[in-house]
């Protein structure tokens, strides 16, 4: 995101000032963008639209600069394409993601709507707004379109749009009086603070393994079984506990930990307790012949 922001600045300077150093810097930073996260180069399409809206006469130097940068990034792009099977698990695209995608970055539909009102209603730097709006929209729109052809649309891949969103909102709000800016900031804080607290909580990634580890450490004499997803996280948090259940230990009592439900039955054991920690499920099992006796 930092490289995208810097490349956008250098492109704007290149368009408005025309000095070669800005174009050289723009091309160099695009290489950094590509090698940091190749899908973030989708922003180049938005930058091209921004250039055409400001000064179409610069398209030749733009084409030369981006062409060289893309040639340098091409080996990584080809390697990534050959390994595309690693993201085959990404779910199919949904139509409503076209307009809900920006809310993944802003935090909610309410924040997106507020920022849209600011952009449409404010009389800020319209030249900069015209330049930055395509940069904000290119990544979500193109990722949505490509997602219909191959599994690719993932929320974290949209982060390349964040600098464009910040820029278009800042340009729009640049002419607002100070009191209105303070009011806008207060509304944004009120809308985003709950999300900020949530994503910094122990269940931010859907599973609160820290609390799950605290529970299973209450009976370290029991055995424990994990599914493939939960094992590493549980071992991490159990390492800070005075004791930890032994994996696959054949005892009368047994813990089970799953990243998501429903709980899978364990042959020879009866479930006597279960608790959820976000999407993670912890079960406490007793061997059936022991419980019957």
Average pLDDT over residues 236-256: 85
Backbone angles phi, psi at 282, to 5 degrees: -120, 130
Q: Tell me how crowded residue 244 is: count the other CB atoms within 10 A of its CB.
A: 18
CA distances to 64, 110, 115 from 168, rounded to whole Å, are 26, 17, 9
What confidence score (pLDDT) does residue 285 get?
92
| pTM for the full predicted model | 0.73
Asked if residues 277 and 255 have their Cβ atoms less than 8 Å apart, the reply is: no
What confidence score (pLDDT) does residue 293 get?
42
Q: What's the rounded Cα separation, in Å, for the pair 91 and 88?
A: 8
**Average pLDDT value over all residues in the chain:** 89
Average pLDDT over residues 248-255: 79
Q: What's the rounded Cα separation, in Å, for the pair 207 and 281?
A: 9
Burial class of residue 7, CB neighbours in 10 A (0-12, 13-18, 19+): buried
Q: What's the rounded Cα separation, in Å, for the pair 169 and 185?
A: 12
* Kind and range of the H or E run holding 287: strand 280-287
Tens of pLDDT, residues 107-148: 888 899 999 999 988 888 889 999 999 999 999 999 999 988
Tens of pLDDT, residues 13-48: 999 998 999 999 999 999 999 999 999 999 999 999
Tens of pLDDT, residues 53-65: 999 999 999 999 9
Which residues, 6 or more positions from 128, have their beta carbon under 8 angstroms from its beta carbon?
Answer: 12, 167, 168, 171, 174
Burial class of residue 32, CB neighbours in 10 A (0-12, 13-18, 19+): middle
Tens of pLDDT, residues 190-224: 998 888 887 787 777 788 999 999 999 999 888 89
What confidence score (pLDDT) does residue 87 get?
86
The token pair at 268 is: 């020879």
Give yes or no for residue 292 having a pLDDT over 60: no
């Amino acid at each position: 995101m930092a490289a995208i922001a810097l490349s956008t600045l250098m492109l704007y300077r290149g368009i408005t000032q025309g000095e070669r150093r800005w174009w050289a810097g723009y091309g160099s930073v695009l290489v950094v963008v590509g090698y940091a996260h190749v899908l973030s180069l989708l922003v180049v399409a938005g930058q091209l639209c921004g250039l055409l809206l400001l000064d179409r006469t610069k398209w030749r130097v733009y084409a030369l600069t981006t062409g060289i940068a893309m040639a340098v990034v091409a080996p990584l792009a080809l390697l990534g394409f050959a390994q595309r099977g690693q993201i085959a698990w990404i779910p199919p695209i949904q139509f409503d993601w076209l307009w809900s995608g920006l809310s993944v970055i802003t935090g909610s539909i309410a924040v997106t709507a507020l920022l849209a009102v600011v952009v449409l209603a404010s009389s800020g730097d319209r030249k900069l707004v015209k330049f930055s709006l395509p940069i904000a929209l290119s990544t979500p729109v193109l990722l949505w379109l490509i997602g219909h052809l191959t599994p690719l649309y993932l929320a974290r891949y949209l982060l390349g749009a964040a600098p464009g969103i910040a820029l278009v909102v800042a340009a729009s709000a640049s002419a607002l009086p100070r009191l209105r800016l303070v009011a806008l900031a207060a509304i944004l804080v009120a809308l985003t603070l709950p999300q900020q607290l949530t994503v910094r909580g122990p269940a931010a990634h859907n599973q609160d393994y820290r609390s799950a580890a605290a529970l299973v450490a209450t009976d370290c004499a029991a055995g424990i079984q994990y599914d493939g997803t939960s094992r590493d996280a549980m071992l991490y948090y159990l390492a800070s506990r005075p004791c930890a259940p032994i994996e696959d230990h054949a005892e009368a009592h047994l813990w089970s930990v799953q990243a998501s439900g429903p709980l899978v039955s364990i042959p020879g054991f009866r479930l006597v307790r279960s608790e959820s920690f976000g999407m993670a499920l912890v079960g406490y099992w007793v061997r059936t012949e022991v419980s019957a006796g």
